Chains A and B, each alone.
Chain A
Amino acid sequence: MSPWLETMRRETLLVMRKKSDVLNPLVFYLLVISLFPLGVGPAPETLARIAPGVIWVAILLSVMLSLERLFRDDYRDGSLEQMLLSPHAGAGLVLAKIASHWLMICVPMLVLSPLAALLMGVSLKALVAMMLSLLVATPALSMIGAVGAALTVGVGRSGVLLSLLILPLFIPVLIFATAAIDAAAMSLPYLGQLALLAAFSVAAITLAPFAVIAALKIGVQ
């Protein structure tokens, strides 16, 4: 089997063996969503207005929570060195690894998001815009996050440093996503914002693997 497929197979197996890696961010996400109505009060019109933003922020933070482990175990047990020494080393293997991260971490949250939005009474128009923006923009989150994870791979407890590094890069994504949802709630066209989010993702998918490889090479030295 090709090394890319084998990498994805391995990541899937690892997630099945160590379920907490996936469940932690997911549970965190659901907790944030369910605590918010208790915090701001259950008035439907308030909730419906802030819900898409809350869901977006919760996903952003959950993704960040999951990033620390992306390369950590491989760095500790030497698998990362073997990956870098593979004749296929380079963007492909890293892309396969990050794609698995997106599939395992982001997709379950995407699946639960419509449910969370309906619970908070989000209108159908805003819901569609929110889902589209999430679908288009979460690959960018995984990709940008992976660069941060690779840069901090040699740092022992990298959580805080990682957040400081990548949060500023997540903010533009959040801004355009909420702009799209606001526009949709007011029945305005929001294709422009979606296109920008898609552009973020395409740029991140194209460029981030190279940055990740370069950062990992420095990390293992």
Chain B
Amino acid sequence: MLEARRLSLARQSRQLFSDVSFSLEPGHALLLQGRNGAGKTSMLRILAGLARPDEGQICWNGTAISQSDNYLQSLLYLGHHAAVNTELSPTENLRYLSALHDDDSASIDDILCAVGLAGYEDVPAGQLSAGQQRRIALSRLWLSNSPLWILDEPLTALDVKAVAGLERRFKQHLDDGGMLIVTTHQPAILPESVTQRLELAALDPEADS
């Protein structure tokens, strides 16, 4: 279970959010919503432990994430940048990423086929389209068995078919008791019954004009 307690963050003298609390049970998804610049990415980075909030605490199964010894093992974070090196092929990229996160690298070829990158396994990622690069990064959702996924705009540059595949994967993950925290402007891909919504509203009154 992931629990956020009274998180606050200010950037460049602007309060992005304050006193945000929520808890996420296995099998549930959290949809972060808000305008551009509302602090969605900052919130996800804080939840992943990459940044620190000004105030507040995040607990994983009752222990603060900085002290928890299995938080990083349980976490799959896909950030704003895809972590895909443009000089390396999809297979080489995934080999490295799966080694970093102790995922099973034996099934990389099958997964690349499944996400529609068959025939591109040995092409440097820099020669692929933005959507194909995004697919490389998202392949980790099939490689990994981490229970907690934190995804920052996973649908960027994806086509309709890829979005449908992702929707099925999300549903399967939640049915298996996984947890999902996601920012997206297409909330329809999350199963309604198990999705909580968290609206990050900019607190700066001038920004609302």
Question: CA of A78 to CA of B137 in the docked complex: distance in angstroms?
Answer: 11
Interface flag for B130 (CB, 8 Å): no
* A96 nearest CB across to chain B (Å): 11
* A72 nearest CB across to chain B (Å): 12
* A2 nearest CB across to chain B (Å): 7
Interface flag for B188 (CB, 8 Å): no
Chain A residue at smallest Cβ distance from B52:
A221
Binds B, one of A79-87, A118-126, A140-148, A194-202: A79-87
List, in ascending order, chain A residues with CB within 8 A of B92's CB.
10, 13
Beyond A14-B85, A78-B81, A220-B50, is A1–B99 a contact (Cβ under 8 Å)? yes
* B101 nearest CB across to chain A (Å): 6
Contact (Cβ within 8 A) A77 B79: no
Chain A residue at smallest Cβ distance from B73:
A87
* A143 nearest CB across to chain B (Å): 22
List, in ascending order, chain A residues with CB within 8 A of B80's CB.
78
Interface flag for B200 (CB, 8 Å): no
Interface flag for B97 (CB, 8 Å): yes
Interface flag for B117 (CB, 8 Å): no
Beyond A13-B88, A87-B101, is A78–B83 a contact (Cβ under 8 Å)? yes
List, in ascending order, chain A residues with CB within 8 A of B51's CB.
220-221
Interface flag for B64 (CB, 8 Å): no
Question: CA of A18 to CA of B97 in the docked complex: distance in angstroms?
Answer: 20
Interface flag for B75 (CB, 8 Å): yes
Interface flag for A69 (CB, 8 Å): no
Tell which of B52, B79, B83, B99 touches A6, judged by Cβ atoms closer than 8 Å: B99
List, in ascending order, chain B residues with CB within 8 A of A78's CB.
79-84
Contact (Cβ within 8 A) B124 A17: yes
List, in ascending order, chain A residues with CB within 8 A of B96's CB.
6-7, 9-10, 79
Interface residues on A, range: 20 to 34
Beyond A6-B95, A81-B77, A221-B51, is A86–B100 a contact (Cβ under 8 Å)? yes
Interface residues on B, range: 20 to 34
Contact (Cβ within 8 A) B100 A3: yes
Interface flag for A73 (CB, 8 Å): yes
Contact (Cβ within 8 A) A83 B82: no
Question: CA of A1 to CA of B95 in the docked complex: distance in angstroms?
Answer: 9
Contact (Cβ within 8 A) A76 B81: yes
Contact (Cβ within 8 A) B100 A82: yes
Contact (Cβ within 8 A) B97 A87: no
- Considering only residues 69-112 of chain B, those with a C-beta below 8 Å from chain A are 72-73, 75, 77, 79-88, 92, 95-97, 99-102, 105
Beyond A6-B99, A77-B82, is A85–B87 a contact (Cβ under 8 Å)? no
Question: CA of A76 to CA of B126 in the docked complex: distance in angstroms?
Answer: 14
Question: CA of A77 to CA of B75 in the docked complex: distance in angstroms?
Answer: 19
Contact (Cβ within 8 A) A81 B83: yes
List, in ascending order, chain A residues with CB within 8 A of B84's CB.
77-78
Tell which of B77, B83, B88, B101 touches A10, judged by Cβ atoms closer than 8 Å: B88
Interface flag for B49 (CB, 8 Å): yes
List, in ascending order, chain A residues with CB within 8 A of B124's CB.
17
Interface flag for B48 (CB, 8 Å): yes
Tell which of B72, B81, B87, B88 touches A87, judged by Cβ atoms closer than 8 Å: B72
Contact (Cβ within 8 A) A82 B73: no
Besides A87-B72, A88-B100, A93-B100, 4 other A-B contacts (C-beta < 8 A): A13-B87, A13-B92, A78-B79, A79-B83
B residues at A contact (CB < 8 Å): 48-52, 72-73, 75, 77, 79-88, 92, 95-97, 99-102, 105, 124
Question: Could you give 10 example pairs across A and B, Cβ below 8 Å?
Answer: A6-B95, A7-B96, A76-B81, A77-B83, A78-B80, A78-B82, A82-B83, A83-B100, A85-B48, A89-B72
